[in-house]
Structure 1
């Protein structure tokens, strides 16, 4: 089971959880999960039935931290057999969601934690280097990681001593540290989609993509976007999740989009409401992008939309894809918008439900636009 978003642990202390959409760079603080004062890392996701957020498991000292992002609860439990006084880095959940595999001290043991019984079993040492997370390939189940100092692509094999071997040198750029005090230059959050596209985020929030869906390893990873994901300069500490594969090119090069609600009316097939908006797209850098104004030839607009039968978006000149509670509108062809200029796009959104209970104005939460070309 997968979701459209993954989860980032951000901040060395008072660690917070963020949801991150690897397609459009949408990054949101999970407000209902309180900061965890002592910090945690080595995070994994345990997926539950459809429609529910996963449970997140991490380690802090000698304890297991359980984060329920849906209920907004954070709890720490002692783990029998897990040593205290260790700085943990890497973590990932087994496919069945029962075991969190973690590593810390390069020369010390790794541990497999039974998350139900809260017991830990020692394994082989990870080996040296500055690699701060790993993720399981969805097809061949190898644990994949990235060395922060030189960008080597790594295979982490729990059966080997040490576990780390180099698959291909220099595939990624050297990692960057965040501006926060004590930040490491490391790739600290890693995850796959369901076909084998690999994403690695460094401590500063730079996102990188590598296609590992085939037999060949590409020579170089692609760094996505224009600037870092917005986490207020805090250090990205870890990540967890397996995302649904999307037939869309990732883009985080944000440009400015504003909305003006026009009107709404009841619909009967499906029963619900239709909302009309005038969206103004500007060829200027968005609030989370440090880039300069530049021409826009192709664009993407995205916003929250419930994934329900009958939900739909209509607008001219765009292809629309619905997935995971969001709509993505990609321009169909080259539509030159010169730097600093704007254009209007009329969008109609159908939301199923009881018209009397639906709002008069749909909130259009998460509205953002990115430059594709």
Structure 2
């Protein structure tokens, strides 16, 4: 099941905490690149060290403001758009930035860096906490559990190193491979501040500026974890940063389904409604789209397009999309239309795309029907990875 509901190990979206104060929760779809503000209210004191408990669907984080030995735990239920807090004693006085919920959903594992370098575990069954070995200094600001090998992985924004946490070491920080990622960008303290896994063992991480990178760790198992020789350089996803209103990406939590090659570079697209015909249960709505091989802006930039992707929101009573020379599919609440091979566009070239949406019941009129949140993307050959 892949509808984003609770109690699923993998979902179409991960959750991203944005902003140092008045932290806001967004959902991020690594397949389409869509970043959507959730209905969860902003939290004035900010939070970090976010982890996702897939067994309950809840998120747990730590407030940026603590009192003595007490720490404020932020509990988020994205399905209900609710945010509550609980007080946890014994681990206060520390700015926690590394956070992940263990694969069994029973504990939130915390770490701090940049001088304090402490570690702790919060038992989510009774909300008690205890100190652990220190995480270790450096530019690692989020970690995530590999679904198969059980390690906590992270990227160091200062060096680009791939790290993992060894709970038996003091400190836990262990360098697995050097300079796997570019040095982080964005903000006063550039870091790789958000991390999550894709089904199958693909590690994803954001830097503070919103650049997304991913790394193939799919061969790693508990019996045979990957070594330095197994690790190849990480690749940027989509070639452009995700857009979150100019705010710093603080954290991410929640593992995602495998959904094919992503593409985030925007292309210019327009639409025109051409008419409707048919009666229930097959009502047809026809649209003429024009996709142009330019990146939108005040001065559109021509780009070469090997393959393209069109995205728009689904309709009530939706059954299917009909389009020639392209392959439509449904991804959550979006319709995704990928061009077939041979549909290349030269820089600045335009192409008309005829598309019909079939519904079981007619739409109310007025207004004139439109494809809501219509977007086009450059699906580059380099975005496809082996094993997908």
TM-score range, shorter chain: 0.7 to 0.9
CA contact (8 A) 1:64 1:118 kept: no
Q: 1:241/1:363 Cα in 2 relative to 1: closer, same or farther (>3 Å)?
A: farther
Q: Counterparts of 1:331 and 1:212 in 2: how far apart (Å)?
A: 29
Deviation at 1:313, TM superposition (A): 2.0
How has the CA–CA distance of structure 1 residues 286 and 94 changed in structure 2, closer, same or farther, with 3 Å as cutoff?
A: farther
1:345: which partner in 2? 353
Paired residues of 1:275 and 1:349 also in contact (CA < 8 A): yes
2:275 equivalent in structure 1? 263
Q: Deviations over 1:52-99 (max 9, x none)?
A: xx322111131111122232222221113331x321111111223232
Once the two structures are TM-superposed, the CA of residue 336 in structure 1 deviates from its matched residue by: 3.0
Deviations 1:180-238 (A, max 9, x none): xxx32100111111101111100010111111112563331111233311112211110
Q: Distance in 1 between matches of 2:366 and 2:172?
A: 55
1:157 matches 2:166:
yes
The 8 Å contact of residues 307 and 325 in structure 1, kept in 2 or not, is answered as: no
> Structure 1: which 5+ residue stretches go unaligned?
none
The residue that corresponds to 1:67 in the other structure is 76
Indicate conservation of the 8 Å contact 1:176/1:203, yes or no: yes
**Segment drifting more, 103-112 vs 249-258:** 103-112
Q: How far, CA to CA, are the matches of 2:351 and 2:268 in structure 1?
A: 11
Measure how far apart 1:300 and its partner are: 1.1
**Tell me, what secondary structure is at the counterpart of 2:301?**
coil
Residues of 2 paired with 1:141 and 1:86: CA distance? 26
Native 8 Å contact 1:263 1:275 kept in 2: yes
Q: Counterpart of 2:330?
A: 322
Q: 1: distance between equivalents of 2:129 and 2:355?
A: 53
In 2, Cα distance between equivalents of 1:81 and 1:266: 67
**Shift of residue 252 of structure 1?**
1.1
Residue 159 of structure 1 deviates from its aligned partner by: 3.1
| Partners of 1:43 and 1:240 within 8 A in 2 | yes
- Give me the whole-angstrom Cα distance separating, in 2, the residues matched to 1:126 and 1:200: 18
**Per the alignment, do residues 264 and 77 of structure 1 end up closer, same or farther by CA in structure 2, a change over 3 Å counting?**
farther
Q: TM-score, normalised by structure 2?
A: 0.83
2:211–2:236 CA contact under 8 A, matched in 1: yes
Between Structure 1 and Structure 2, how many residues are aligned? 357
Structure 1's 139 and 239: CA in aligned 2 closer, same or farther, altered over 3 A? same
**Cα distance between partner residues in 2 of 1:23 and 1:153:** 23
Aligned to 1:148: 157
- 274, 279, 289: which is aligned to 1:279? 289
Distance (whole Å) between structure 2 residues aligned to residue 163 and residue 358 of structure 1: 62
Measured at CA, do residues 273 and 292 of structure 1 come closer, stay the same or move farther in structure 2, by a change above 3 Å?
same
TM-score (norm 1): 0.87
Q: How is 1:170-319 mapped onto 2 (pairs within 5 angstroms)? A: 170-178=179-187, 183-215=188-220, 217-246=230-259, 248-265=260-277, 271=281, 273-286=283-296, 292-305=301-314, 311-319=319-327
Which residue of 124, 141, 146 corresponds with 2:133?
124
The answer to whether the 8 Å contact 1:273/1:358 transfers is no
Are 2:376 and 1:369 aligned?
yes
Distance in 1 between residues matched to 2:334 and 2:310, nearest whole Å: 10
The counterpart of 1:15, out of the listed 9, 17, 23, is 23
Shift of 1:136: 0.9
Quick one: distance in 1 between partners of 2:94 and 2:366? 51
1:33 corresponding residue in structure 2: 40
Q: Is 1:41–1:238's contact at 8 Å kept on the other side of the alignment?
A: yes
Find the partner of 1:47 among 31, 34, 54. 54
Q: What are the superposed Cα offsets for residues 251-282 of structure 1, whole Å, 9 maximum, x if unpaired?
A: 211112222233345665xx475433222211
Task: Check conservation: 1:156, 1:165, Cα contact below 8 A.
Answer: yes
In the alignment, is the contact (CA less than 8 A) between 2:55 and 2:105 conserved in 1? Answer: no
